[in-house]
Amino acid sequence: MSSMIQISKKFSELIRLEMTSRGIATAKRLSNVSNVSEKTVLDILNTPDNRRKQEDTIKNIAYALYCTNEDIEPLFRSREDAYSFLMNKYKELSSMPILTDVFKIDIMLVQLMRSDSEYTDMSVQWIKYCQYLESACKANNVSVNQLFNSYVLKTFFDYINNSQNILKIVIKENLSHLQFISGNSSISVNNPMLLWPCNCSIPGTNPYDCPIHSNRNYADIVSAFKNGFVQIQYQKGNDQNLHYSRYFWKNNEGLWPPSIDSFTFIKNIIEFYKNDDSIESILDVGSGTGFLGIEAALQLPYVKKVFLNDFTTQSHVFASLNAMLNEESLKQKKM
């Protein structure tokens, strides 16, 4: 995949192997991802020169995981200790509260932009935003740059993907059906007008008429939607050729999910440009979750590159995660 997000499957796979595998198993897998014979890989692994390469690899991983020089120095005494240390550090990152803090900071930025205060100037807003972000990172013992490297993005991806409190929202391409699934609870809505089709806030509306709150499972679904991570599954094709694209999102004021309008918009884009062989790249400005850019890249046959751009940190994080979530489909297009 070639994109502004710069996520390389080969690179991340090599790092994962360096951190978790050893010996012949390492040689075999490195051989698979690097197109080099197992014997050649084994020879490299056993040469003095490669020990220096291993040290460089360990150092690069350690720095990316925000280890100090004091942390790194003992790693070179034992290769096994190095793998164990880095793996524990990797797992530790996945539970850190920095994501929650980033959400709060992005909401503060949105509030600043909407306010009539002294911070209406964009340059002042950006300075304040950077200050907030740096303070939050410092409080969590990480660097700002760490939020943007592939190691940490992978920990976020694993953390969300393995979350027990994740709500799945399945929406059909023709927008005829919407289904919410959380654990053993589910709610189905036909012909939805909104991605969250609760109409309780409309004056004069009876809660018993609400597609969400009129269902006996509403408590679990509402809690998961408000507090947990959401995976939106966009269902395309027919029963004989059914396939999905998927998008992570977290409910908060600083990042909007793909809306019903977004799904309608992308259908119109695909219909209008699907035979245009002059469109080889896409720039999605204000990309948010990355839905429009990624979906257009998946469905427009001649697109080879997609660039996702937004100014908030969580937009970058979620767009990156959603590119990873759809990586196999993007790879099939040789992006």
* Per-residue pLDDT tens digits for 284-314: 999 999 999 999 999 999 999 999 998 888 8
Residue 202 confidence (pLDDT): 77
- Spatial distance between the Cα atoms of 111 and 48, rounded to a whole number of angstroms: 57
Nearest to 311 by CA among 109, 87, 86, 97: 109
The tokens of 318 are what? 């979620």
Helices H / strands E in the chain, number of each: 14, 7
Q: Read off the pLDDT of each residue in 197-224 and give the average, rounded to a whole number.
A: 85
* Residue 141 C-beta-side C-alpha neighbours within 13 Å: 9
Confidence at residue 84, expressed as pLDDT on a 0 to 100 scale: 64
Measuring CA to CA, which residue among 43, 10, 46 is closest to residue 29? 10
The lowest-confidence range among 7-11, 139-143, 329-333 is: 7-11
What's residue 64's pLDDT?
Answer: 55
**Contact criterion met (CB below 8 Å) for 258 and 201:** no
CA 300 to chain centre: 22
d(CA 144, CA 127): 14
- Residue 17, pLDDT score: 46
Predicted confidence at residue 15, as pLDDT, reads 43
pLDDT at 1 over 50: no
Average the pLDDT over 213-217 and give the result: 89
Q: Is the pLDDT of residue 157 over 90?
A: no
Give the model's pLDDT for residue 253.
Answer: 81
Give the separation between CA 151 and CA 133, rounded to whole angstroms: 19
Q: How confident is the model at residue 108 (pLDDT cuts 50, 70, 90)?
A: confident
Mean pLDDT calculated for residue range 184-190: 93
Per-domain residue ranges of the chain: 9-94, 98-160, 164-332
Phi, psi dihedrals of residue 277, rounded to the nearest 5°: -80, 0
What are the tens digits of pLDDT across the range 17-72? 444 444 445 445 444 444 445 555 455 445 555 556 656 655 655 555 556 656 66
Mean pLDDT for 249-269 is 91
Instruction: Describe the strand order of the beta sheet including 166-172 as a list of residue ranges.
Output: 185-190, 177-182, 166-172, 229-236, 243-250
Return the structure tokens found at 301: 């046959």
Residues 58 and 62: their CA atoms lie apart, in Å, by 6
- Tell me which range, 139-143, 184-188, 252-256, is most confidently predicted by mean pLDDT: 184-188
Tell me, what's the pLDDT at 4? 32
